[in-house]
Structure 1
Amino acid sequence: MKGFAGIVGHKDVVSHIQNAVRTGKISHAYIIGGEKGSGKRLIATLFAMTLQCGEHGTEPCGKCASCRKALGGNHPDIIYVTHEKPNSVGIDEIREQLVEDVQIRPYESRYKIYIVEEAGKMTPQAQNALLKTIEEPPEYAVIMLLADNPEILLPTIRSRCVTLNLKPVTEEEMKDYLMQQLHVPDYQADIMASFAQGNIGRAKRIAESSEFMEMVENAVYLLKNSQRMEVGDMIDAVREMAGDKQKIYDYFDIFTIWFHDVLMFKATKEVDGLVMKGEINAIRERASTSSYEGLQKILEAIQTAAGRFRANVNPDLTLELLFLTIREC
């Protein structure tokens, strides 16, 4: 078990947690904010394990009885609050699993810790039910609210919690993680690190996917031939390659990386700063035929297309407008 040392990035958050443990200044309520896949659950779990660890250090030892129970998912004083409805955490769930349960003292540890995943989905009623506990908690209670967007939580909740926001991991840290931990080859790590956009969960997902590099190859083939293909053929190709709506967004992200490389090369004529260095010949060719203004229009068109897909605008029309821009600019 690597403990906090195994976390990629987020050094400021880890430092805050370890200083709080070292000085004994533990808040009764935390909000850990960051997009899905940023590592909120891992950090909350390591924080909880550290607080309960029998060695009383600033890292969980991973070996004591408390750590072993936590690693096995059966620590009686580390409670993960669950919810049945996918899009909401209701008042009954918060009351039964937290508000009423917190009145019972810890079974065997110094603290009783509650980790509320997807806390942004708590209904206003659920948040108000939780508020009194956060305002007047038992001395042994520690509540951790994990939220993709902490701003969704009621101001009365936010004002009573210590907020720890997870920032995107740098591309350099991401690339090191992909190469050292997941053994991704150098040329693929560049593309994956850029695609992941600072999200360690996303990086892990694509590194472990057998489809991702095939998706990159398909997207690059399409873009290399975009000025020669008919728009209808391009739409058919993307629909066939993507298969489902979620993958469409992945293709949009790959398109963005490609055209950003084209723009960078047009401006600098340097290869070192490119993500897709292996496609330098095609990048050079596109940079020579597209203007700065045209490339900027294409990048904006990709973002517009992604927004239209999220808003359920006609998908064929959305792709047609995008590919017309890619062809003409």
Structure 2
Amino acid sequence: MDFTGFLGNPGVKSALSDAFSAGRFPHALILQGEPGTGRRTLARLIAQALVCRRRGKAPCGECPACLRAKAGSHPDIRMVEGKGDSGSISVEQIQEMAADAQRMPDEADYSVYILVFGEYILDAPQNKLLKLLEEPPAGAVFLLVCRSARALLPTIRSRAQVFQLMPPSEEEAAQWLEASRDISPGEARRLASLCGGNLGLMQGELESGTAKEAMEAAAAMALALPGRGAHNLLCAAAPLLKDRALCRQALVRLGLIFRDACMLRCGGKTLLGGAPEAADKLADLPLKQLVRLPELAEEARQNLERNANTSLLVTQLCAGLREAIGRT
């Protein structure tokens, strides 16, 4: 398979290429990863490869099927996305997809369904989806895109092959940004370092200009967390109160820093949060305490999406983080 446009993740690429070349492509895949790691990009490339008419180098990007796939108009590729603020896929959407999947593909050998799950994944639609995955129609391939496979029912996970997507190296990300945008090499490297190679965050920083401020606030909170008393942590979190968009970005960053600390504590070296000093300081804490921190940051981010009061949310988060590491 050709993965032009999807950076990094050599293990994922190799496994998908082998399955595709051997003609034993799974009927269901789960593409999990943080936003900005290329989940949708990879899903679209897989779908394009499955409908491509030139199997020697799929997707070729040139045949009529590839051109329609890239334009979003191929009749055998369907996107199912959650609606509303929650981004939840409904029972009705799954029912419509299940009915559609019973038909034979119009042009290709496969009918490909890309399901993009939002922050809230309800059980009822999953139960409907489970029945479809248990007895998949011939030629149907389901690509499930989500932040974490753990949000899906265990029975769903057991019937799909799970791939964890990670950002590319900072060097590769910087080269990509420099080539795709009118930006200097130095600025591209700065953004790649700031965003841990996450292409979505890098592009968001170019568009919004808040990623640096969010990174600084998250790093300051992580550094202040183990200290005595809660005052310094609350002061570090103060910038989050003024801007919900900044708060959202900072919470994502904070979760990544906490994840990095867990990784360091377990002897790992791959860091994504862009604040190695803060992660290293937290890594001195017991692992039993550390593993709770990413969950608290994610809970706070989800509550923010539910329009929780920012001031109350940040205050509760600081208190929860202190409690998790045994501080009062």
| 1:133 match | 132
Matches within 5 A, 1:305-316: 307=297, 310=301, 312-314=310-312
Q: Is the 8 A contact 1:53 1:61 kept in 2?
A: yes
Q: Is the 8 A contact 2:81 2:117 kept in 1?
A: no
| Distance 1:64-1:197 versus aligned 2 partners, 3 A rule | same
| Greater shift in the superposed pair: 48-57 or 168-177 | 168-177
| CA shift for structure 1 position 249 | 5.6
What SS class does the counterpart of residue 163 from structure 2 fall into? strand
| 1:54 match | 53
What SS class does the counterpart of residue 200 from structure 2 fall into? helix
Matches within 5 A, 1:84-233: 84-87=83-86, 88-96=88-96, 98-118=97-117, 121-209=120-208
| 1:21 match | 20
| 1:268 match | none
- The one-letter code matched in structure 2 to 1:152 is A
| CA shift for structure 1 position 172 | 2.3
* Mapped partners of 1:83, 1:35: distance in 2: 17
| CA shift for structure 1 position 200 | 1.5
Q: Is the 8 A contact 1:106 1:112 kept in 2?
A: yes
| 1:262 match | none
Q: Is the 8 A contact 1:90 1:122 kept in 2?
A: no
Q: Is the 8 A contact 2:79 2:116 kept in 1?
A: yes
| Distance 1:251-1:191 versus aligned 2 partners, 3 A rule | farther
- The one-letter code matched in structure 1 to 2:83 is E
- Unaligned stretches of 5+ residues in structure 2: 218-230, 258-273, 286-292, 304-309, 320-328
Q: Is the 8 A contact 1:77 1:107 kept in 2?
A: yes
Could you list the per-position Cα deviations for residues 136-191 of structure 1 after superposition, in whole angstroms to 9, with x for gaps in the alignment? 11221101111111111111110010111102322222222223333432332333
| Distance 1:211-1:166 versus aligned 2 partners, 3 A rule | closer
| Greater shift in the superposed pair: 193-202 or 175-184 | 175-184
Sequence identity (%): 31
* Mapped partners of 2:51, 2:314: distance in 1: 54
Q: Is the 8 A contact 2:77 2:111 kept in 1?
A: yes
* Mapped partners of 2:300, 2:104: distance in 1: 49
- The one-letter code matched in structure 2 to 1:197 is G
- The one-letter code matched in structure 2 to 1:245 is R
* Mapped partners of 1:81, 1:249: distance in 2: 25
What SS class does the counterpart of residue 69 from structure 1 fall into? helix
| 1:265 match | none
| Distance 1:209-1:122 versus aligned 2 partners, 3 A rule | closer
Q: Is the 8 A contact 1:120 1:150 kept in 2?
A: no
| CA shift for structure 1 position 106 | 0.9
Could you list the per-position Cα deviations for residues 12-31 of structure 1 after superposition, in whole angstroms to 9, with x for gaps in the alignment? 21222221111111111111
- The one-letter code matched in structure 2 to 1:92 is E
CA RMSD of aligned residues (A): 4.2
* Mapped partners of 2:21, 2:159: distance in 1: 22
Q: Is the 8 A contact 2:27 2:140 kept in 1?
A: yes
What SS class does the counterpart of residue 109 from structure 1 fall into? coil
| CA shift for structure 1 position 130 | 1.2
What SS class does the counterpart of residue 100 from structure 1 fall into? helix
* Mapped partners of 2:48, 2:9: distance in 1: 18
What SS class does the counterpart of residue 4 from structure 2 fall into? helix
| Distance 1:207-1:3 versus aligned 2 partners, 3 A rule | farther
| Distance 1:55-1:95 versus aligned 2 partners, 3 A rule | same
| Distance 1:48-1:201 versus aligned 2 partners, 3 A rule | same
* Mapped partners of 1:309, 1:157: distance in 2: 26
| Distance 1:23-1:119 versus aligned 2 partners, 3 A rule | farther
| Distance 1:134-1:244 versus aligned 2 partners, 3 A rule | same
TM normalised by structure 2 equals 0.67
* Mapped partners of 2:3, 2:315: distance in 1: 48
The structure having more radius of gyration, on CA atoms, is 1
| 1:38 match | 37
* Mapped partners of 2:127, 2:248: distance in 1: 36
- Unaligned stretches of 5+ residues in structure 1: 220-230, 258-274, 277-291, 322-329
